[in-house]
């Protein structure tokens, strides 16, 4: 497992001079979206970029008129319209022969829920868009309500006893659109993240990146522990990090150790799981099933879980 420290991301001559996401923004401490944008800055380098942001925490983070927190031209759209507006922007760039990377930065509400039809349609049309979903598993901007990305067992402001339903498998849904590239991103694995971001930036057609984005405010966790939580989710197998090419070829990027220790640690470090008393044993069967399927899809003849 390759897990470089954040210091490894220090700016080099190859990196973008201007940050994508400037200092003085209003994001909570430990926000995964902030980390995503810092990582994206390094991956983007000097490629021309425009951002499309639907209603979300990112729309608030964009700053108050006339200032702009984003260091690139940005369009704020209505909640369910980012892929449609991005289709227009990418089309006009193409008509004018411009080498533009049209990037959507959307939360899980705008992706899994209200923007889902629009997202599916843009993926079906294979629009030339890079879609980045920073998934904090909650409606953060409205104060922490459940979304279809919220995992079962998590307490939110409108599921006070814990959500009953399982999280949508958004990556599989996007892969079913047979788009050129879909991948999940672990913010705790910078090198893998940068590689996939760069690859996604330079592909044509619809590309989708799914980022597990720690939300200390919604997860009721320690802000400084965000990356550690992601690492635990990856280690335990709860958040599989893999990529799918053309909806067919599945490649697992980071091998979990499937340890109950990591899973229990992940659950216990977030107060959102406290009330339902969720433990590793409750989640393990579903994780095993998911990985059996992923092994089959990725053509790896190894057990889903290596014991001992």
Partner 1 sequence: MTVELLSANHGAALAATLAARANRKGRGFCSGVYPITPSTECMEYLCQQKIEKGRVIRVESEHSAMGVCIGAASAGARSFTATSSNGLAYMYENCIAAASLRLPVVLAVANRTMGPPWNIWADHSDALTLRDHGLIQFYCADNQELFDSVLAAFRLAEDKRVMMPVMVNMEGFILSHTVAQTEIPDQGQVDDFLPLTDIPHRLGHTPHTLGQIEIPHQTEMHRWQHHTAMLEVPKIYGEIQSEFEAVFGRRLADAVVAYRAEDADTLIVSMGTIGSTAERVVDTLRAEGHRVGALRVRLFRPLPVEAIRSHYAGKKRIAVIDRNISLGLGGVLWSETRCLADPGTVVQNYVAGLGGGDVRPEHLVAMLANLEQRKFSGAPAMMEAV
Binding site for partner 1 (CB under 8 A): 18, 48, 50, 52, 59-60, 62-66, 68-78, 80-96, 117-118, 120-121, 125
CB of 132 to partner 1, least distance (A): 17
In the complex, the smallest distance separating the C-beta of residue 203 from partner 1, rounded to whole angstroms, is 20
The minimum distance between CB 297 and partner 1, in angstroms, equals 28
At closest approach, how far in Å is the CB of 263 from partner 1?
38
Per the listing, tokens 């079913």 go with 176
* DSSP character string of 228-259: HHHHHHHHTTSS--EEEETTTEEEE-S-----
d(CA 183, CA 249): 11
Give yes or no for a contact between 262 and 239, defined as CB atoms under 8 angstroms apart: no
Our CB check for partner 1 shows the closer of 91 and 142 to be 91
Based on CB atoms, which residue is closest to partner 1, 90 or 230? 90
Quick one: tokens of 163? 């959500």
Q: Pick between residue 82 and residue 133 the one whose CB is nearest to partner 1.
A: 82
Report yes or no: 216 and 28 within 8 Å, Cβ to Cβ: yes
- Choice between 83 and 162, CB closer to partner 1: 83
The phi, psi pair for 247, rounded to 5°, reads 70, 5
CA distance 66 to 174: 36
Question: Taking CA 278 as the corner, what is the angle to CA 277 and CA 279, rounded to the nearest 5 degrees?
Answer: 115
Least distance from partner 1 to the Cβ atom of residue 60, Å: 6
Beta carbon nearer to partner 1, 20 or 229: 20
Residue found under tokens 């659950």: 267
Q: Closest CB to partner 1 among 12 and 64?
A: 64
Q: How far is the CB of 140 from partner 1 (least distance, A)?
A: 16
């Amino acid at each position: 497992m390759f897990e470089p420290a954040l210091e490894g991301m220090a700016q080099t001559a190859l990196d973008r001079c201007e940050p994508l996401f400037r200092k003085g923004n209003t994001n909570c401490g430990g926000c995964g979206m902030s980390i995503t944008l810092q990582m994206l800055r390094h991956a983007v380098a000097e490629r021309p970029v425009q951002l499309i942001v639907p209603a979300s925490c990112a729309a608030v983070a964009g700053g108050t008129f006339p200032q702009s927190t984003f260091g690139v031209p940005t369009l704020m759209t209505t909640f369910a319209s980012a892929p449609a507006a991005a289709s227009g922007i990418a089309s006009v760039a193409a008509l004018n022969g411009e080498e533009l990377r049209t990037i959507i930065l959307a939360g899980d509400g705008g992706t899994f829920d209200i923007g889902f039809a629009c997202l599916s349609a843009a993926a079906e049309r294979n629009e030339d868009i890079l879609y980045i979903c920073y998934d904090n598993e909650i409606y953060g901007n409205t104060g922490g309500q459940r979304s279809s990305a919220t995992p079962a067992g998590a307490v939110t402001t409108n599921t006070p006893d814990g959500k009953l339903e399982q999280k949508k498998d958004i990556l599989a849904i996007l892969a079913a659109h047979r788009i050129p590239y879909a991948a999940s991103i672990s913010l705790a694995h910078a090198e893998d993240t940068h590689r996939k971001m760069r690859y996604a930036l330079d592909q044509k057609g619809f590309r989708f990146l799914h980022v597990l984005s720690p939300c200390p405010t919604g997860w009721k966790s320690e802000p400084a522990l965000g990356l550690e939580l992601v690492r635990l989710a990856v280690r335990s197998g709860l958040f599989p990090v893999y990529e799918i090419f053309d909806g067919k070829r599945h490649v697992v990027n980071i091998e979990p150790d499937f340890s109950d220790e990591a899973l229990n640690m992940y659950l216990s470090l977030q107060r959102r799981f406290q009330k339902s008393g969720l433990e590793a044993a409750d989640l393990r069967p579903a994780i095993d099933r998911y990985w059996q399927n992923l092994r089959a899809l990725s053509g790896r003849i190894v057990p889903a879980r290596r014991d001992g």
